[in-house]
Structure 1
Amino acid sequence: MTHATRSAAPGIWCGEFDLFNNEGLRGPRHASSRHHRTRVLVRAHGRPLGYLHFDAAPDTVSSREIRVRSVDSFGETVNADAPEPLVDAPFASVIVCTRDHTELLTSCLDRIQALDYPDFEVLVVDNAPSTEETRELLTAICALDSRFRYLRQERPGLSAARNAGLAAARGEILAYTDDDVLVDSGWLTEIARTFRSEPGIGCVTGLVATAAIETNAEGYFDARSPSWSGRMTSERYDLRGRDDGSPLYPYSAGIFGTGANLALAREAVDRVGEFDEALGAGTTTKGGEDLDIFVRVLRAGFAIAYEPAALVWHQHRADDDALRSQLHGYGTGLTAFLTKYLANPATTLDIVSRLFAGVARMASIRTATEQRMLDRVEAPAGAWREEMRGYLAGPALYARARWASRTRQAGLRRS
C-alpha cells in the first residue's frame, strides 16, 4: 500500500441491527452524505453475531437485505434464544475518568444515563483539569440525577484517576469506561450477568466496536485492534489451563480486552489492590495499566471473562497526528508493562522465556494490520514507526515513572 497519494476518506458509517427488535438500523453517529459505505454489527437479542459490509450508503441498506445476508453469514446463530432476565442485580459503580473532553463526556454520560441496569452509581473523575467545564457539567447533571457524583483528582494520570474512583465507589461491581466511549444500553446488565455465570471471575471485558470509519486514521486503528473489536465469542481465561494458546500468555497485549471496557469484582480489587500509577495515560509511560491489572487479576487466582454482549462503541482518533501519538503511547505502555514484570524476580524468567515470541509478534503487527484494513483505507504515514519508537522508549520511561512514584510516596510518608 503506497502513501504517495492519499485516497478519498473511507466514509464508512458504522451501526447495528438486532434481528429480534423493530428498531431497525441505528448507530452511534448520524448518517450523512459523507457516508457511502456501511458496516453493520448484527445482533440477536442483544448478542453480537458479526459484521456485514455494504458498498452502499446506510439509508439504502434495507432490513430485508440485512436479514438475508445474516442467515447466509451467521447460520443458526441467528436463531439464538433471548437471555433470561437478570434478577437480584448487585449494586454497581460506573467510573469514567476524563480530562478536558467535555463534548465527548456529555455524549458518554447521556448513554450511561440510559442504561437498563436497575441499581448503579456513576462517578466522574476529573483528572488534573485545565478548566472548570467538567465540574460545571457535572454540577448540572448531579442536580437532576442523584446517581451521579463528581470527583476531582489533581494528580495527573489515568491510573491515579481510576484509583480515586475506586476509593469512592460503593459497588460490588466496578465498571470502567472512557469519555470517548458510548455504552450500549445493556452494557452493565451483561457485565453483571457474566460475573454471575461462574464462580471465580474477577474481571469482565467486552466488545469495543468502532463508532465510525470516516478517516484513514480511524480505519487503521480499527484494523489495529481486532482482539477487542472483532471477537464475537465469549471467552474465559485463567492460569489453570484456559488460555489463548499463545506462547506470550498471559502477557499477550490486548487478548483480554481493553481499559475502555473493563469491570472488576470488588473481591478481586480487595486482593490485587489499586492500578499502578507508574503506568497509564497521563504519565510518562502513556499506557499499560490495563494490561497490568489483567495479569494481576490472573495471578491472584481469578478468571477473566470476555463477553461480546457487554458492548461499547469507541470513537477512534480521527486525524493522523492524534493516531500517531496514540500508537506511540501503545508502544511505550506495552514495553513499560513488560519491564515491570521483567524487573520482578517472581516473573523475570516468565518474561525472559517469552522474549523471542514477543519480538516476533511485534514485528508482525504492521503486516497483520494492513492485511485487515478495509478496502480503500490507507495506513497513515509514520503510524508503524511511531509505535516502534514507543516500544523502544517504554523501559526507560517506566524506570523514570517508577522512581517518580516512589519519590512522591516517600514525601507523603514524611509529611
Structure 2
Amino acid sequence: MTAVENVTTSVREAVAHVLDVELSGPIAPVSRTAADGTTANEAWLLVRLDGEPLGWQVVPLPVEGLAVDELQRLLDARWGEEVRRRRARAEGFAERHARHLATASRASVVLCTRERPEALAACLESLTAQDHPDFAVWVVDNAPATSTTKDVVDSFTGRLDIRYVVEPRPGLSRARNRALREPLEGDVVAWIDDDEVADPMWLSELTRAMAERPGADAVSGLVVPAELATRAQLWFEQFGGHSKGRGFTPADFGRGSDDRQNPLYPLPPFGVGANMAFRTASLYAIGGFDEALGAGTLTHGAEDTRAFTDLLRGGGATLYRPSAVTRHFHRRDLAGLRRQMEGYGTGLTAFYTSLVADSPLVLGQLARLAGRALRDLTSSSSLRVSGLADDFPAELLSANRAGMTQGPGAYLRQRRLHQRAARTADAPPAAAAADAAWRPTQVVHWDLDDPPADLGLTPDDAARYGAVLFVTWRPARPVALLTLPIAEALDRATREVALRRVPEAPQAPPRVPTSALPGVSVVIPTVLERPEGLARCLDALLRQEHPPVEVLVVDNRREDSSEQAGAAIPELARPGVRLLRQPVPGISAARNRGVAEAAGEIVAFTDDDVQVDRGWTRALAERFVTEPEVDGAGGLVLPSELQTPAQEVFERHSGGTDKPLLPETYALERPHADTWHPARYRVLVRRAGRVVRSYSLYQLGTFMGANMAFRTAALRAQGPFDEALGTGTPSHGGEDVDMVVRMLSAGRSLGYEPAAVTSHVHRRSDAELARQMSGYGTGFTALLTALVARDPRHLVGLVYAALTVLRSRLGRRDPGVTTLLEGLPPELSRLRVRGMLAGPRAYLRTRRRDRS
C-alpha cells in the first residue's frame, strides 16, 4: 500500500501512550487521556521489576481508562509466573545493581550533537539523574553554526562534570573520534545521542556489564520509544526501531560466549550507536570510527556497526544488556521516516563496502553469504518484514532497498572527499607569507595555579598577532593547549570561558624526593652556529629545579676553536659545564662522545636551538624512578614562537602541539616473536597500564633528539648511535629514531613524559624549511636502510608497515598511522620525496666511507 502523510494530525491524538509499570511497587491506573492532554486508544507498558525491564505489554484503553484492579489482573496473567521465578533466585537484579554501585569506577559519557539545543538540554537533564557515582560528560559540538550548544552546556556547569569540545568538520564519526582524542577518564566510555533521554540506571548498567565481564570490549543497551505519537513512529518501531528486535534477554557475542553467528551476516544484534559503551582501549585498538560512515556523511550511518564488527572479527567480545535503557524520540513525520529508512539501507551496504575496501578477502566470505541475504531481502517471512502490520507503507521498504543500491558508491565517494580534504586543508603552504591576511600566533605559557595578571599580552598585540596559543599548566605539567583568536585572547572574560574546556590535571604519582632522583648528565651537540641559542639553553639548564650532574657541550666542528667559543659564550665557563671536542662530523658522533663521558645515571639530550623548562630534568628523572622498567623517555617539544608561515607549517606537520598530554609507555607487542609474525613489529602504547593504541615500529614519532633521555647503562649496552646517520652527515637525520627502534626491538620499554617540556625555535624562512623537509626525507629512508643492513628481518616489518599505510591511503586509518607527506604543501611534499629517494644511497656511501 502507499501511505498518505497527514501533516495535520495533532499529537493530541497519539497512537499510543508509552509508560513504565514497576511491578515491585503500587500500580497506578492508566487513563486514556494523559496529563498533557494527549489521548490514545492503547498503551505500551514497559514492565519492570525492581527497575529491570521485563518486556512490553500493549493494552487497549477504553474510554474510562484502565482501573487498578483490571490492570493488575492483566499484569498478573502475563508476568506473574516470571516474577515468582525471579523472586526465587538467590540474588536479584536490585542486589546486583546495588553491589555494583558500591564499587563502580569513574567513567566517561560522550554526547555528539549538532544544533539541537532543546533535545540536548533534555538529554543532559537525564544525565543529572544517573545513579552512577562518578562520571564525566563530554559534549562534542559538531560543525556548530551558532553558540546555542555551548550555551546549553554552560547552563549545566555545576550540575554535571561536563566538558565542551568542538569538532568543526561535519560528520558523526568525526565527532566521535574527536572525543577519543580527549583525555577520557576511566576504562569505559559510553555514548548517547542528543535525541534521547537516559534511564537513571543507564550508565551504571553499562558499566556493571563491563565489570562483570572483564574480557568484553563493548556493550549495548535497550533503546525504547520515548513516545508513539504518530503512525510514523509506530511504523519505525515495527521495523525494529533502534533495538532491532533484540528483545529483553541479555546476550553475549564473540570470544568466551556460546554465540556462533557469523559477524558479517545476518548482523548479530550486538550494538546500536544511540546506547553503547566501549572499553576505551578497545576503541583505540581498532582505530576509532570510520569517518566515511555515519550521520552527516553520504553514507548516513553504520559507523557503530563497523566498530562492533571490527571488534568481533578481531577476536573480541561484545554484550547486549537490556537493563541499560535509553528513550529515543523517533521521527514523527512520514517524510522524515522515509529518509531515515533510505539512509539505513545506504548505511548497510556502505558498511559492507568499507569492509571490502579495507580487507578485500572479506569479499569471498560475503559471496558465500549472499544467497541468504538475497532471500531475506525478498522474502515476506524475513525477520524484519514478518512483524510488520498490514498498514505498514510499502514505500518505506522500497526506500530502504533503494538506499541499499546507493551505499557502495556513497562510501567510495565519501572516502575520496576525505582524502582530498586531508591533502588540501590540513596545512597552508609556506608561501602564505604573500597573503596579507596571514598573521603570526603568539605562544603564551599560562600557569593556572598562579596566573599572572596580564599573561604578557597587551592591546598592541591585536594589530600584530592573529591568535594566541596558550600552553596551560597545572600544577607542574601542561594540561591543555588552547588556540584563541587574538580578540578572544585579549578579553579576560572570554579567556575564562575557554578555561572551562581545560581538564583537571591527571592524578600525578607522589613527588619523588630530590635525594632519590638519579643524576642526569645533559649532552648538547653543537657546531656553534647559534651562540645566542646555546647561551639561552645553558642558562635554562643551570637553573633547573633538579640541577644536572653536568652539562656536556660537544663541539662538533672540524677545527678547534674552543677559546673563541668560550669568549663568545660565557655560560661555557660556568661550574657544571664541560666543553668537549668531537672532530668527526655528525650529530651521532657528538652524541657518542657525550655518552662516553657522562657520569650521570641518566643521560639526556637536547639541542642548541632549544630552551628547556625549569622542571625538565626533574620530570625525566622522576619518570625513571616511578617506572623502573623504562630504559628511555622522550618529552614534549613545543614551539618557542610561530612568527612566520614556515614555522606554522612545520608545527602543523612535525611539531608537538598535536601530541598527547598524558604519560605513555611503549613496548613491542611480541619482540621475540617469529620473523613473520606482525606482533614483532607492532608497538603497543599504554596509559596507566592500559593499551590505548598501537603503532608500526617504524612510525613512532614521539621521540625527538631535542628532548630525550636514556639510562646510561642501557644506552651503552645497546651500542652507539649510528655515525652514518644524523645531522652533519649525508643522511641528514634518523639517528634518534634508529636508537628508539633498536631499543624496542631488543625488548626494552620506553616512555613518553609530557611534563618534560622543551621549546624549539623552528626554521623561520621558507628556504630553511625546504632544506629541513628534504633532509627529513633523506634521514627517514637512510634510517630504514640502516635497520635492514643490520638486520634483514626488518624487511618483513616494513612490508607490514607499508600495507598499513596503504590501508590508510584508501581511507581507513589504523591507530597511530601517519604519513610522511601528511599536511605538507605540494612543493614541500615534492622536496621530501626527493630527499627520500636519496636516503639509501647517502647512508650506504657514508657507511662505506667510515669503514674505509
Same fold at TM > 0.5: yes
Equivalent of 1:41 in 456, 460, 471: 471
SS in 1 for 2:585: coil
2:597 equivalent in structure 1: 168
Structure 1 residue aligned with 2:728, among 264, 279, 282?
282
Distance 1:362 1:156, change over 3 A: farther
8 Å Cα contact 1:248-1:357 kept in structure 2: no
Indicate the percent of aligned positions where both proteins have the same amino acid. Answer: 34
For 1:61-100, what per-residue CA distance to the aligned partner results, in whole angstroms no more than 9, with x for missing partners?
54x64443222x233x258669524432211101111112
C-alpha distance after superposition, 1:155-175 (max 9, x if no partner): 110001111111111110100
Aligned to 1:124: 553
- Aligned residue number for residue 389 of structure 2: none
Residue type at the aligned position of 1:141: E
Question: What secondary structure does 1:185 align onto?
Answer: coil
TM-score normalised over the length of structure 1:
0.85
Cα pair distance change 1:329/1:367, threshold 3 Å:
closer
- Aligned partners of 2:579, 2:491: CA distance in 1, in Å? 42
Match of 2:737 in 1: 291
The reply on whether 1:399 has 2:844 as its aligned counterpart is yes
CA contact (8 A) 2:635 2:754 kept: yes
Compute the displacement of 1:118 (Å). 3.9
* Matching residue's letter, 1:116: E
Shift of 1:134: 2.8
Residue type at the aligned position of 2:468: T
Partners of 1:321 and 1:362 lie apart in 2 by 29
Kept in 1: contact 2:489–2:495 (CA 8 A): no
2:540 is matched with: 111
- What corresponds to 2:662 in structure 1? 233
The alignment status of 1:341 with 2:787, answered yes or no, reads: yes
Cα distance between partner residues in 2 of 1:361 and 1:164: 41
Q: Which has the larger radius of gyration?
A: 2
Partner of 2:565: 134
CA distance in 2, matches of 1:404, 1:362: 38
Partner Cα distance (1:357, 1:190) in 2: 34
Taking the aligned partners of 1:104 and 1:59, their CA distance within structure 2 comes to 29
Aligned residue pair count: 389
Indicate the residue corresponding to 2:365 in structure 1: none
Counting only pairs closer than 5 Å after superposition, residues 306-317 of structure 1 correspond to structure 2 as: 306-317=752-763
2:676 is equivalent to residue 222 of structure 1: no
Query: Is the 8 Å Cα contact of residues 639 and 655 (structure 2) preserved in structure 1?
Result: no
- Alpha-carbon distance between aligned partners in 1 of 2:641 and 2:469, rounded to the nearest angstrom: 9
1:16/1:83 CA distance change after superposition, 3 Å: farther
Alignment of 1:191-210 (within 5 A): 191-210=620-639
Q: How many angstroms apart in 2 are the aligned matches of 1:406 and 1:160? A: 14
Residue 129 to residue 57, structure 1, CA distance change in 2 (3 Å): farther
The alpha-carbon distance between structure 1 residues 66 and 11, as it changes in their structure 2 partners (threshold 3 A), is same
Question: Of 638, 660, 684, which residue of structure 2 is paired with 1:243?
Answer: 684
1:353 aligned residue: 800
| Mapped partners of 1:259, 1:199: distance in 2 | 22
Counterpart amino acid of residue 51 in structure 1: L
Deviation at residue 150 of structure 1 after TM alignment: 0.5
**Equivalent residue, structure 1, for 2:830:** 385
Structure 1 residues 252, 24: CA separation in 2 closer, same or farther (over 3 Å shift)? farther
- What is the CA distance between 1:21 and its match in structure 2? 2.1
Matched with 1:51 is 481
TM-score relative to the length of structure 2: 0.43
After TM superposition, the structure 1 stretch with the greater mean CA deviation from structure 2, 221-230 or 288-297, is 221-230
For 2:521, the equivalent position in structure 1 comes to: 93
Determine which structure has greater relative contact order: mean sequence separation of CA pairs < 8 Å that are 6+ residues apart, divided by chain length.
1
Task: Kindly state the Cα deviation for residue 402 of structure 1 after the two structures are TM-superposed.
Answer: 1.2
| Pair 1:74 & 2:505 matched | no
1:269 & 1:79 partners in 2: Cα distance? 30
1:119 deviates by: 4.6
Q: 1:118 to 1:342 in 2, by over 3 A?
A: closer
Distance (whole Å) between structure 2 residues aligned to residue 124 and residue 261 of structure 1: 15
Q: What is the match of residue 183 of structure 1?
A: 612
Structure 2: gaps of 5 or more residues: 1-423, 671-682, 686-691, 811-817
Q: CA RMSD in A?
A: 2.9
Distance 2:617 2:739 in 1: 20
| Equivalent of residue 711 in structure 2, options 249, 256, 265 | 265
Give the direction of change, closer, same or farther, for the CA distance of 1:368–1:22 in structure 2 (3 Å limit): same
- Structure 1 CA distance for aligned equivalents of residues 808 and 843 of structure 2: 21
1:12-54 Cα shifts (integer Å, max 9, x gaps): 1112111112446768xxx966334211011111221121112
Residue 603 of structure 2 contacts residue 712 of structure 2 at CA under 8 Å; is this kept in 1? Answer: yes
The CA deviation string for residues 132-166 of structure 1, in whole angstroms up to 9 with x for no partner, is 5434345x3344x3210001111110001111111
The worse-fitting range, judged by mean Cα deviation, of 6-15 and 93-102 is 6-15
